[in-house]
Structure 1
Amino acid sequence: MVATLEEVARLAGVSRSTVSRVVNNHPNVRPEVRKRVWEVIQQVGYQPHAAARSLVTNRTQMLGLVIPRGLVTLFSDPFFPILIRGVADACTARRYYLMLSFFSDPFQQEELYRRALRSRLLDGVILSGAPLDDPLVPWLLQDNTPFVIAGRYPDERVTYVDVDNVGGARMAVEHLLRLGHRRIATITGPLTMMVGQDRLEGYRQALISRGIPVNDALIVEGDFTEEGARVAMQRLLPQRPTAVFVASDTMAVGAMKAIREAGLRIPDDVAIVGFDDLPIASAVEPPLTTVRQPIERMGAMAAEMLIGLVEGTLTGPQHI
């Protein structure tokens, strides 16, 4: 027998409207009542009717996650599974669904989200590190669609969550400076993204603070891929750097390959520091020195902030 809302109300000792408010995450329910209702829902296996709930709340309980165009796909970069786990866990805890899309053509992905948002299939979206030229951002702003970027964005109207990329990069280069290195190169992230610009700025600040001129010949732009970084490192090696700061762990692995292919030793000939503290950092040989960032927590915070925007408990743009 299929459990009904009326049965849940009877067993929990509350009204039908109270059960409805609990199911729809309405704030005006006492915590002890909310807990009792959910216990009954789980006990009897009640499944709220999604379509009916959407009509009442004008929400679908569905959020979207957009992987930035021009980057590698989910299965190629270990950064994204960690971020997605944080987003998904936060969505599950708040009883929201999460939609991911995978297209070889990034513009197809953007068009999908536009259609989904126009038809109100999604309550809002999270953008993972949106490029500065991402056409989806101005469209979302114009449409007044709730969205959050996991990564800093230079528009005060945008809500985002990020780590201190400038400070983290500066710390990485300062570590190399303390080891006695002066000819320090860097493989940046894409400079069309704030994360790429910020980590490059941290690199520059660390050198300038020690009175070391910034040498543009020691700076090569990367694309957050292993192969892209391998090629970038091959371009840097003729400049004879004694150390390199690489703006992501995935790229650091590619840089390490290029160093070994050139017959050089790590760290004896070229020292290397990454950024992220992905599991691969401890799996490579020698283990990669890296700057840790709370990727999973960042994903969870992005989801929590988006839900706040959707439900109206978070007002105005927030920058964390």
Structure 2
Amino acid sequence: MTVFELPGPRPTLADVARVAGVSSATASRVLNGFPQVRDQTRRRVEQAVGALGYVRQRGTRTVAGHRSTRSIAVAVGEDGPWSFSDPSFGRLVRGAGAELARAGMQVVVLVVRSPKSAQVSAARYLSSGHVDGVLFVSTHARYSVAMAGLAVPVVSAGRPLCGDATGVACVDVDNRGGAAAAVQYLLDSGRRRIATVAGPKDTAPGQDRLAGYLEVVAEAGLYDPGLLAYGDFGQASGEHVTLRLLDRRPDVDAVFVASDLMATGVLRALRRTGRSVPGDVAVVGFGNAPVAAVTDPPLTTVSQPVEALGAQAARELLAVLGGAAGRRRVVLDTALVIRESA
């Protein structure tokens, strides 16, 4: 017979997880009926629930005094159409949606614009009992304030809300480490005049991928500010800034590009100026978007687990809704995919 020590008169999900010897997220998956849990783990959680007398609060009053809606908002903080045109956004939402559907949650998509009045309106809607929680998606940090004071749990899919005073948890990919691995690969391939087409300075992925590039070239003694250029993550900007970069530094022998869409523009610029890839200039992108496999030549790139990012962010949010203390930051690994461009 197993004897459990009762932690108190009103046990929480965290108590169930502690007694079962599992994480709060795992306990939440068991209670939500997720199939991807080992039978032995499921039995331990169920035994802990029975021993503690834990009762889930489904359908009763939840955060801020509102009844559960069984709905989660995916709040997208963007001014333009970038998120919706980028295939990564759809993959992220699919990953999150699959997890939420298994938990019986509906998904509502809400676009949050940058004018202060629009952010206030979005925050009012999200805090008014329409949803149980918010999965926040944005490359820009300026939307953080609007999401920080919500009366429902919030998890960010991406770094903008991490490390600041908002206290909002997030799930991110290792943008800095992935960029560093890509640039190190170029160095190990014998390239020495490695330029970068970085993302926007006001975005977390842009900042982190540039930091990874700078870390490696500085360590190798090859830092040159003339080899830095900035785009907007889109194809046209990649082509435009690369043509300017080549006018300034025609001896470039490699380019690390902060997104695959921009990398398609870089390839166009190199082709227009008569440079072969990878013979004259090697190119590495970031994202492993579907387009990376069909460029000419196929693009070497950093693969980021976008669907896993969405799924993990959803799991973290479900765990918080189940009573667990959310983790401040979760970072998923990236991997270099070698193709013919480098």
TM-score bracket relative to the smaller structure? 0.7 to 0.9
Q: Which residue of 104, 117, 121 corresponds with 2:130?
A: 121
Q: Please state how far the C-alpha of 1:254 moved relative to its aligned partner.
A: 1.7
For residues 67 and 270 of structure 1, do their structure 2 counterparts lie closer, same or farther at Cα, with a shift above 3 Å needed?
farther
Q: Distance in 2 between matches of 1:236 and 1:133?
A: 29
Relative to 1, partners in 2 of residues 1:166 and 1:220: Cα closer, same or farther, differing over 3 Å? Answer: same
Q: Is 1:281 the equivalent of 2:292? A: yes
Structure 2 equivalent of residue 177 of structure 1: 187
**1:155-194 correspondence to structure 2 within 5 Å:** 155=164, 157-194=167-204
| Greater mean deviation of Cα atoms: 276-285 or 109-118 | 109-118
CA gap 1:282/1:179 in 2 versus in 1, 3 angstroms: same
Q: 1:60 aligns with which of 59, 69, 73?
A: 69
| Other-structure match for 1:299 | 310
Q: Measured at CA, do residues 215 and 162 of structure 1 come closer, stay the same or move farther in structure 2, by a change above 3 Å?
A: same
1:144, distance to aligned residue in structure 2 (A): 4.0
- Distance in 2 (CA, whole Å) between partners of 1:75 and 1:27 is 33
Distance 1:130 1:87, change over 3 A: same
- How much identity, in percent, do the aligned residues show? 36
Matched pairs, number:
274
Q: Distance in 1 between the 2:233 and 2:310 partners?
A: 18
Gaps spanning 5+ residues in structure 2: where?
A: 1-28, 34-41, 44-57, 332-342
1:309 maps onto 2:316 in alignment: no
Paired residue type of 1:255: V
**C-alpha distance 200-303 of structure 1, shift in aligned 2 (>3 A):** same
Check 1:26–1:218 CA distance in 2 against 1; reply closer, same or farther (3 A cut).
closer
Per the TM alignment, residue 101 of structure 1 is displaced from its structure 2 partner at its CA by 3.6
Contact 1:281–1:290 (Cα < 8 Å) also in 2: yes
Q: Distance in 2 between matches of 1:272 and 1:69?
A: 28
The Cα of 1:168 is off from its aligned counterpart by 0.7
Aligned pairs (5 A) from 1:102-251: 107=115, 110=119, 113-134=122-143, 137-152=144-159, 153-155=162-164, 157-212=167-222, 214-238=223-247, 239-240=249-250, 241-251=252-262
Q: 1:313 Cα shift?
A: 2.4
Contact residue 305 and residue 314 of structure 1 kept, 8 A: no
Task: Measure, in 1, the Cα distance between the counterparts of 2:80 and 2:262.
Answer: 12
Q: Partners in 1 of 2:87 and 2:317 — Cα distance?
A: 24
Q: Distance in 2 between matches of 1:129 and 1:106?
A: 11
**1: CA distance, partners of 2:192 / 2:315:** 43
TM-score between the two structures when normalised by the length of structure 2: 0.72
Paired amino acid for 2:192 = R
CA distance in 2, matches of 1:120, 1:209: 51
Instruction: Answer whether contact 1:273 1:288 (CA < 8 A) is retained.
Output: yes
Of Structure 1 and Structure 2, the greater helix share is in: 1
Residue type matched to 1:209 in 2?
Answer: E
TM-score (norm. length: structure 1): 0.77
- Tell me: CA distance 1:257–1:180, structure 2 relative to 1, closer, same or farther (3 Å): same
The one of 96, 99, 108 aligned to 1:90: 99
Gap regions ≥5 residues in structure 1? 1-24, 33-52
Q: Deviations over 1:68-127 (max 9, x none)?
A: 314544442111111111111111111111112458x65487455324213211222222
AA matched with 2:199: G
